[in-house]
Homo-oligomer: A and B are copies of this chain.
């Protein structure tokens, strides 16, 4: 790189336009009419001369740095939500934006320091993301720049908020079982994730169970039982084992996520029950686990990648709308759903999923 930097004036001269015109074309400004031909000539000249803008200097002049900040609590740590970063990075790249990624581990001091550091670098806007949809209080510092919230339930912020459609997801899971003909012996494992600390459960659990119950009501079906437990394999294993130990053979399990389903598989298969012949299992997340389990698990996808993309797409869109932008969640049907044993209704033999 010993060569001298090509200047904007050289590009303008090569293209036969004024420096102002060249600057407007190359910085993507749209507030001055420039002919398509002149735009083409400027771009070709810039390519030919290998012109690179000094974005730091431009940022000082225009207050636009083409950089964005993604601030989250713990999404990169999490196996699944790393996909949010992936989606955000891809979308930023597609819009010629560079993305700063910072994590706070939920530490509010670190959070405000991080945001201040990004403001010091004049980022054009923020995606503020939390792990799992939950109430959160984005810091007031964010009000100084365009911001999109991700999975963050915050009434006081009148900005776009990207959320997974967990009620729709619950409907998808229940519909897969209804379509296979299940009408009894259906249990929910993990469910609302109620605990002493959160007697109402967590937002994702509540929303999904609302969707499940909507569909069951439509079919006149009642859940045979609900196990509130942490959404981890060991807890689910204990819950399903206790059910089996009491002599009950469930016809179908709606598991709160793929990890819960893994624990359910271990409990069922450890006692010689076959999936899906004896017990059908559906789940949420559509993580890699769903593919790895035997039989492969029918699971409603949690579109983290799409959510990351949508958040950045909204952030760079000057016409973005405030309010909730829901991302649909779809059943990915695999091999863990079958009609209830002893039932051979031919209308009900297709395993989970949409027609």
Q: Which residues of A contact B (CB under 8 A)?
A: 1, 52-57, 59-60, 65, 67, 76-80, 82-83, 85-86, 89-90, 93, 96, 98-103, 110, 114, 116-122, 141, 144, 232-234, 237, 259, 262-263, 266, 269-270, 287-288, 292, 294
Contact = CB atoms under 8 A, between A and B. Distances in A.
Nearest to A82: B82
B99 A101 contact: yes
* Tally of this chain's copies: 2
Interface centre among A60, A79, A141 (most CB of B within 10 A): A79
Contact of A89 (B59, B80, B93, B103): B103
A270 B265 CA distance: 12
14 contacts: A52-B116, A55-B120, A56-B65, A57-B60, A76-B82, A76-B83, A79-B82, A85-B85, A93-B103, A93-B114, A98-B117, A98-B118, A99-B102, A269-B270
B110 A93 contact: yes
Given A56-B122, A76-B76, 16 more contacts: A1-B141, A56-B59, A56-B120, A76-B82, A77-B83, A79-B288, A85-B101, A89-B103, A96-B117, A98-B100, A98-B114, A98-B121, A259-B292, A263-B292, A269-B269, A270-B294
